Amino acid sequence: MERLIYKYYLYKASVTFGFFWPIFTLFLLDQGLTYTQITLLNSISAALIVIGEIPTGYVADRIGRRNSMVVSSALYTGAILGFVVARTFPEFVCLWLLWSFAHTFQSGSADAWLYDLLDERLDENAYTRVRGRGASVNMWVSAATMLVSGVVYSVHPTLPFVAGGLVTAIGLPILLSMPKNVRYTDSSDGYGTDDGQGYSIAEALPIVKGHLSSPPLRSVVLYLAVFFAIVTVIDNFIQPIVVNDIGFPEASLGVIYAGFAAVAAVGSYYAETVEDVLTTGGAIVLIPPVVGVFLVVPLVIPLVALPAFFLMKTSKELLFPIMSGYINDHVGSMERATLLSTVSMVIATFRVPLQPLGGYVGDLSGPITAVAALVVAFLAFTLSLHLWEPPTEEAAESDASTTD
């Protein structure tokens, strides 16, 4: 089992975008795109995720989670290498569509595969630790590649994408050497439980609706979906804020993003420890508002933006394994990938309007104002959600029922 976990860590190391992520927005701006166009691309991607998450999650449950991860890595590789030749807005739209399908094939499958593998061969209670440390490995590899991204970009703007595509392609043989979840059949009829029973997509939709329309998942998923969506939109503004508002040179972006990845890796590695200290409900409820407050301060003191971005990046990687484990604990194995994909779909649903809205505010008033506006909207939403259905109470009730 230890060997399989190390293979999982190797796979997570391959799914890294460090070679090009620190210069991604600048690359797109250099191609003549505006903030509105860049965020519109992300909105298109989010819309496709909304449409495709449940079908691809269902397909993952049918063809096998590992096979779905293989498809995802292949699509990521193709999309990343596509930036070497893409130059027009329609061409970038095509790459965003390819990227979106890669995301949907991985989003529920990887976590569901890992959870069931641990359940079958070790202990599902190890999920937060293994998932968090896998993300930590990913972040450390990202940090190492980010350190050279600016230099590679200065040699030629497309070289970071060549390097990134080659790294992602390494994940294909690693995945093919890993086992499928043994509880599923490999027949053309799809998967089933140990007694051979499966479910159709018509049966999957009520299962998903039942989980997400009632406690304990309802408010927790809604709350974190908005937080993750807003963090994704804010990512678009980090590079121009660091270069134009704070005054760092473009060449420093690789080092800064490597720092983001390193700090996030530490946060992800200790996700289980943070969960033990704060409890699941405490971590979920307390961390996002604290991050939000720090992200508003740069409106008055721009220099605070950099430490606020460090905090934001760390919180995202810290919260994701906690949220994923929380959801896994509350669903049955058979529909696990479908439900996790649906959660990713919910996050994408909020990104659809927030991306172009944030881009419009950025073009109109500047990126710092756009970040502050997004955070204020999140804090207002958080207050409304707490008044309607406090996530802490639901998480506490869930934790109590789990231990009974």
Nearest partner of 343 among 354, 333, 356, 331, judged by Cα? 331
CA dist 358 and 40 (Å) reads 10
- Number of domains present in the structure of the chain: 1
Partners of 187 in the β-ladder = 190
pTM exceeds 0.75, yes or no: no
Q: Say which CATH number the domain at 285 has.
A: 1.20.1250.20
- 32-35 long-range Cβ contacts below 8 angstroms, 24+ apart: 33/89, 33/92, 34/359, 34/363, 35/236, 35/237, 35/359, 35/362, 35/363, 35/367
Two tokens, residue 178: 């890993």
pLDDT at 325: 78
240 occurs within a structural domain:
yes
CA dist 134 and 111 (Å) reads 11
187 occurs within a structural domain:
no
Contacts of 208 (CB under 8 A, 6+ apart): 54, 335, 338, 339, 342
Q: What is the pLDDT of residues 214-239, one digit of tens each?
A: 666 777 888 888 898 899 889 889 98
How buried is residue 384: exposed, middle or buried, by Cβ count under 10 Å (0-12/13-18/19+)?
Answer: exposed
**Which amino acid is it at 163?**
A
192 occurs within a structural domain:
no
C-alpha atoms less than 13 angstroms from C-alpha of 242 in its C-beta half-sphere:
26
Q: Is the dihedral of CA 16, 107, 99, 240 positive or negative?
A: negative
pLDDT at 391: 53
pLDDT at 118: 83
Question: Under DSSP, is residue 181 helix (H, G, I), strand (E, B) or coil?
Answer: coil
Partners of 274 in the β-ladder = none
Helix (H) or strand (E) holding 153: helix 127-155
Q: What is the pLDDT of residues 374-387, one digit of tens each?
A: 999 999 988 887 77
190 occurs within a structural domain:
no
Domain with 371 in it: 2-181+203-403
- Residue ranges, the chain, pLDDT below 50: 184-197, 392-404
- Do 66 and 141 contact (CB within 8 A), yes or no? no
222 occurs within a structural domain:
yes
380 occurs within a structural domain:
yes
